[in-house]
Each structure stands twice: as structure tokens, then as C-alpha cells.
Structure 1
Amino acid sequence: MAAVDAEFYWMAAKVPSDDFQLWAFDGEPADLGAAIDEVCRRARACPDLTMRVHDGSPLTYPQWVPAPVRREQVVCHDLVDRSWHGCLATIVGLADDQLDIRQMLWRVHVFTPVFGVPGVDGPGTVVLWQYPHALAGGVRASAMGAWLFGRAVPLPEVRPIPAGFLPWRALDAARTHRQLVRDTQAGLLAPGIGYRPLLPTNAPPAGARSMRTLVRHRSQMPGPTVTVAVLAAVSTALSDLFGDAADSLGAEVPMAKPGVPHAYNHFGNVVVGLYPQLDWDARVQRIAADLADGRRRFEHPAKRSADRAFAAVPAPLLRWGVSLFDPDARPTQVLGNTVVSSNNRGPADLNFGGLPVALTATYPPLSPAMGLTHGVHGIGETIAISVNAAESAIADIDDYLDRLDAAL
């Protein structure tokens, strides 16, 4: 297991991080058993879905070892409330049942029939793929989900970084970091956005948790890109809620790193300002510039050198470092007041039991300093804007959704 993936695995014991990838399909399958068998068959044909974790020695990194795909990894739920909102309410509770990936790497949850699925006139089917963050970042996870539902595109190749000598890797990382500082001072790169004050969204998640989803056609998105449009709308919605306290609003946006992946998690977080005090057009320009600046920083040699140095950290040292993390410690400042995770999942060419895909969504998990997250996911021309919130962060999620809807 690569160091960065092992860090996600060990950290999950302190901060649960299973992701839940939702796929909604138009109709009810004529043969549910056959549809489930097909998902299992496709999983067996994907090597990365036919394994589990063996964590045998504190002196070494965990290992991915072969494991058979079992039909009991697909669970059919009998909903008491068969509405779309009732389905989402049930999904909220699934976060309490995190996977033990030493036993089972992933699980699929099936809900059918579900009524009121956006874009579906009659009954629909909702399929939820639950997986650990150690297995995949957003781009890779989307490719895995698409594979399960019929897309014949292999997963992105992963080329592990060869084991190296940490002191040499650290010296190289220090050298390239000094170059990054010089390039920033010379104006060749924009500096990072930096820290900002806490908002209620940064309080430890407490109270009821809720999930909601808005749906738009791609042509309805008011911005240069879907991601920028949603970030600008989140700015409006949160500043409406929090007033002047939100003037320093910022968001963390996961972004794929350039180049060939060296681990299953091949991404970093870019921090962008949300600039609620600016009008829409100026705000959109600033947000787009922050994203572009973050991408250029990712392309600097210092980032690749840092990744190589991290990959060379001995397993006992990284285990020790993770053990020191205190999820109850409260920060005095944060990088972002919310998370907006955005990913285009390609053409609407997927199916479950012959049913065409209607939409896809993900509800990024909450964490000790993040009680509000957003997902932005496209399939074909359909964009789902998802909200995952704790009551401590957003007292009335439907009011917040109305504000976000209006801003879009």
C-alpha cells in the first residue's frame, strides 16, 4: 500500500471516511437478481475490486491481498419511506456502518422502487457504492463506479513510486521548496490563499445529519465551468446565512494532481476564496483564477518532490504520526469553511439491469472541523449538486438548499 493510501486507512480509525457514490436509474429492474449478478461479475473482472487489506506488522505498510467478491457485498434495502427524501434519509444512517476493509473492501446498497428521483417520472432505482477513501480519490472512484455499471474503460494506471532513501528525498524536497518560495516571491506563481476564521460550518458535526440534492441541466449552469458556478452560488448562500461573518469565506476543492498516479489517492486540496462581497461576474473571475493558480502550484517540481519524499517515509514513522492526531483538538483558523468536490463522470452510457442512468451524486463525508460539504457530479448533461450537513453547521438544510437553488 502506498504511503498516502495507508495514511487514509490509518486515519479512518479516528475520522470515518467511507465515501458513498450514488447512482440513480430510470425504472425498476425486471430481474433484480440478474442485475446484482452483473455488478458482481464486473467487480470480479476488476483487480482493484477483488482484494482486501492485510495489516500484519507495525513495522511495514499494509498490503493489498486478493479476496473473492461475495454476493453478500450487495445489500437490498426495503425502504419504509420509498420517496427520494426517504431514501436519502436512510443513506445518512449508513455512514454509521463503516467498512472494515480487512474483511470487505466495498459494499453496494440497492433501493427499489424509489419515487420522486429527480429526472425520473415513475419509480426509480438508487444504487449506492460504499468504499473506503484508501481505495480511491475522486477521479479513480468515479472510474470504478462507471466500470461496475457497464463502462468498458479500464481504470487509470497506477505506477508506485520506487522505494527511496528518505534523507535524499527530503533534501530534494527542501531544495525544490526553496525554488517554489523564490518563484512565488518573483511573481511566477501566486501565493496560496492562506487561513481564515472559523464559521459555524467548522464546528464539530453534531445533531441531525441531512443530505439533499439539486439537479440542473448542464446548459443551466451560470459560469465558465460547472465547478466555478457552484462555488459562486455557495458563496451567495452562505453569506446570506452568516452575514458579515462570511466576508472571508473560503472552500477546499479537491483537485487531481498532474501526471501518472503513483497511488490510489492522486489528488490534493486547492483552497479558493469565495468573495461574497463581489458581484457575480467579478466573483466568478476571482474563483476561476484561484483554481487556476492552485493547478499551477500543483505542477511545480516542489509538489512532485514532496510526494516522493512522503512515499519514502518508513511505515512505523507514519503510523506514529497518525497516532498523534487528535480529532477533538479545535483549530483557531481553517483553510476552508466548506468543501466542494466536483467531478465529471462522463457520458450517460451506464445501466443497472438494463435501466438507463438518470443521475449520479456523492456526499463527501463530514469531519471534526467540517460540518458542511458539497458534491458536484455530472453524468451526460445532468448535474447533481449535493449537500451533506450536520445540524450544528446548518440548522435548516432546506432553507440553505433554497438559498443555493436561488443563487444558481
Structure 2
Amino acid sequence: MFSMAPTDAAMYWLGRGTVNDQFLLFAFDRGGVPDVVQELRRRAAAIADLHLAVRTVPGDLDFPRWAPAPIRDDAIVVRPGDDWPACLAAVTALRPLRESSALWRVHVFDAVAGVPRVDGLGRVAVLQISHAVGDGRRVSAIARALFSREPAPFLRDKRVAIDDTRLAALRSGLLIGPNLLRATALGLAAWAAEEPDGGRANVAPTRANVSPEGPRELRTLTVDAASLRVAGRSSTVGVLVGLAEVLPSFLNAPVRDASVELTVAFDDDRDSAARNCFQTVGVGLHADVRDRGLRASLIADEIAAARARVSSAQRAASRRAAESSPAVLVATAARLGSGAPPPASVAGWTVVSPVHRGAADLTLGGGAVRFTAGFPYLSSAHSLTHGVHRIGDTVTVSVNAGGRIADGVDDYIASLASVFAELTQIPTDGP
């Protein structure tokens, strides 16, 4: 057996109290192979990350273990097709993985009408996977292996010293005091180290920063990647340029406070066995700047500064200190976090999670991939989240909205589409 890294264990424990499953959606042409179950099971058989189960330690006194497991009989489910809106609605109704103790499942919606960028009927595959298995980059690599002949991600999990979970609990219980002292010492050293620029101050919450009680709505908007390269910047920057013009009015919030929490990956601990290596950072949208090229440059500068902070030696030391905490404290913090009340302030009004999923060379049942999407999970702090996922030459902006904020999601996505259409008129070689 192998031990879960602390960050991955925290994601697992968080998922016990809230739904933090990841949903990776891939839209394909409907090829000539009617039954894709055997094709997917054959590909899954070669992916080690899809042969995992979780074995917990009594009292959460040590981190859970990864244990080998066969592919479940219900791992791949084919569902009858309908139309595209019904397909998205069906995704919102999928049962959380924790209800069956599964770590992943593929849902194939066959013969779906009206799929964007698909002529005729399409085939939609949704990989539902536990966040403990990996962050957006890792699970995207798993998906690429599942829908192509690419090699699967390499496993770096650390083998546990004690296989017997009861003995592990006893040993870890005896080490709670020393581990707490070590984590405290590392934390104080990180706190005393020179901190880079702290970034933006938090802003007041909006109507999107409440618990997403009630119905949930998913929407997608797929555009050409080139149309989002405002002033030569990345497609992620282009999306944020567009959000700056839509979010304040949609949320009825001050333009000067327009900001998002952007997920940023880090690679400072290359020897780490952690599967989740990301943080969220506050990024201002500069919605008060009318010139879109200038706004793009300002947003790009903020993202670059945020990446530097996340990868700084001080932040890396802080993460190592947190990972030294006793497992029972990490478990308690994760469970308390799943039921946290709405925040008094936020780093950003909404979460934006960008992932580049590589070349558009994936296939399923003989059909070619047309676009990919993803829906970052909702929390008590954010009832509106956005995915920005690129594959090949297309970028899909996905909107996940819950509770009262979901009522106006169609007007919201229409406004965003209108702004994106205007971005194509901006030269790509601006400032």
C-alpha cells in the first residue's frame, strides 16, 4: 500500500462532507462504434490511477492508504442521449462518488442532439473522478490516456512503513506531539522568512459568495482560442478580460472590486508525492479600465506576480509546514472547512480554473473530440465557478452556478458570448 500525501488526504476528507468530485467533459463526433464500454475498459486497464481504492486508518490518526483495486463493474455507464441542455442537466444529477466508495466513473451520453461544434448527433463522455486522485493537470492526463493511446501519468506515491492500519494508528497517535512540534517549528520559520508582495487585499462578498443551496445549472461557451488572445496574451487572460465586463452587472457589485480566485499550479516540490499541487490566488480584473488591450496587460501582470508568489521559497516552506501537521488535525480542518459559513470577505468573487488539455487528437468509438469542458465544484464561499479548458484550437468556458445565482445564468452566458465576439476585433499585437 501507499500513503496519501497530506494535500490529497485533505481533498479526500473534504469530499466526505461536500461534493468536490471533478467532472471532465469531452464532446465527440458519434463514430461508427455503437458500444464503447469495452473500448474504455480496455484503455482503463492500462492506467494505474484507475486501479485504486482508499483504505482509511482508525480515528484518522494517520493518512489514508492507496490500495490496489480492480476496475468496478459499474465504472463505465452508457446513458441514452437526448439534447445538449438535457445532457448538462443530467450531469448535475449524477450521484457523488462517495455514495458508492468509487474513485471514478465514466458516463457516456450517446446520440446527443445539438452538441456545439458537432454535426448531427454527438457522443459526450464525462469522467467523474475524486479530487484526491489528482488536480486538474493530473486528471486531465488520466483522461488523455483514457481517450487516446498516450501513456498514463507516472505514479510517485510513497510506500507506507506499516501496512496494518491499526498499528499505523497506534504509531501515529504516539507521534502526534512530536509531529505537532515539528509543524509548529517549520511554520514559525516560514512565517519569519522574507515574504514577497502579498498580493491584492480581499474584497466584500457578493450574492455569488453564499452557500449554493437549491438547483444547479451548467452552461458552456466554446470559442476559437485565437479569438481570446487579446493583445497577444493567453486565452485565460482573454476570458478574464471578458469576465471584467460581465461580472459586476451580473452580481450587482462595485466595478472597482471586480476580481476572481484563479487556480495556479506550482512545481516547487518536484520530489513530492502529492497529486494535488495548486493554490487559488486573487486576481483583479481591472474592470474600470476601458481599453481592453491595456486591461489584458494588467491582468497578465497580476497573474505573473501571483505565480511568483505561489512558487516562492516562503510559500513552499509554508506548504511543507502544513504537510507536517498530524493527520488527525488535517482531517479535522478538512471536515470543518466543508461546513464553513459564508465568508466575511473573499479574494475573488468567483473561482476560475484553467487547464490546457493538449492536442485535439482524442477519440471515442471512432469519433474525434470537438471540445472539452469542466465544472469546478461549488462551496459555501462560491456559488458561481468557471472552468477554462482548451484542447487543440478551441477553448470552452464552463459555468457552474448554484442556488439563487443560477436563475440568471442564461442571460449571463449570453452577455459573455457577446463580449467574446467583440474581442475578435482587437489586434493580437497590442501592448
Q: Residue in 2 aligned with 1:180?
A: 194
Q: Secondary structure at the match of 1:386?
A: strand
Does residue 73 of structure 2 align to residue 64 of structure 1?
Answer: no
Q: Secondary structure at the match of 1:276?
A: coil
Map residues 300-379 of structure 1 onto 2, 5 A cutoff.
300-325=312-337, 327-379=339-391
Change (3 A) 1:258 1:162: farther
Deviation at 1:240, TM superposition (A): 2.9
Q: Residue in 2 aligned with 1:270?
A: 281
Deviation at 1:322, TM superposition (A): 3.1
Distance in 1 (CA, whole Å) between partners of 2:159 and 2:242 is 39
Does residue 122 of structure 2 align to residue 124 of structure 1?
Answer: yes
Q: Residue in 1 aligned with 2:265?
A: 256
- 2:64 maps to a residue whose letter is P
Q: Select which of 11, 14, 26 maps to 1:11.
A: 14
Q: Residue in 1 aligned with 2:86?
A: 86
Deviation at 1:159, TM superposition (A): 6.0
Deviation at 1:326, TM superposition (A): 6.3
Q: Residue in 2 aligned with 1:187?
A: none
8 A contact 2:8–2:274 mirrored in 1: yes
Deviation at 1:320, TM superposition (A): 2.9
Deviation at 1:42, TM superposition (A): 1.8
- 1:368 maps to a residue whose letter is S
8 A contact 2:216–2:406 mirrored in 1: no
Deviation at 1:243, TM superposition (A): 4.6
Deviation at 1:374, TM superposition (A): 0.6
Unaligned runs of 5+ in 2: 162-177, 421-431
Q: Residue in 1 aligned with 2:25?
A: 22
8 A contact 2:16–2:335 mirrored in 1: no
Residues 169-223 of structure 1 deviation map (CA, whole Å, 9 limit, x = unaligned): 5434432432233xx3xxxxx3221211011111221332111111111111142
Farther-moved stretch of structure 1 (212-221 vs 97-106):
97-106
Distance in 1 (CA, whole Å) between partners of 2:108 and 2:100 is 23
Farther-moved stretch of structure 1 (117-126 vs 387-396):
387-396
Farther-moved stretch of structure 1 (163-172 vs 388-397):
163-172
Change (3 A) 1:98 1:374: same
8 A contact 2:112–2:121 mirrored in 1: yes
Query: What is the number of equivalent residue pairs in this alignment?
Result: 395
Does residue 170 of structure 2 align to residue 158 of structure 1?
Answer: no
Residues 35-93 of structure 1 deviation map (CA, whole Å, 9 limit, x = unaligned): 221211221211111011111312221111111013421111124xx111111111111
Q: Residue in 1 aligned with 2:429?
A: none
Q: Residue in 1 aligned with 2:225?
A: 218
8 A contact 2:30–2:366 mirrored in 1: no
Distance in 2 (CA, whole Å) between partners of 1:222 and 1:360 is 19
TM-score (ref. length: structure 1): 0.91
Distance in 1 (CA, whole Å) between partners of 2:67 and 2:359 is 33
Unaligned runs of 5+ in 1: 185-189
8 A contact 1:204–1:392 mirrored in 2: no
Q: Residue in 2 aligned with 1:53?
A: 54
Distance in 2 (CA, whole Å) between partners of 1:143 and 1:165 is 34
Map residues 282-293 of structure 1 onto 2, 5 A cutoff.
282-293=294-305
Distance in 1 (CA, whole Å) between partners of 2:120 and 2:150 is 29
8 A contact 1:249–1:336 mirrored in 2: yes
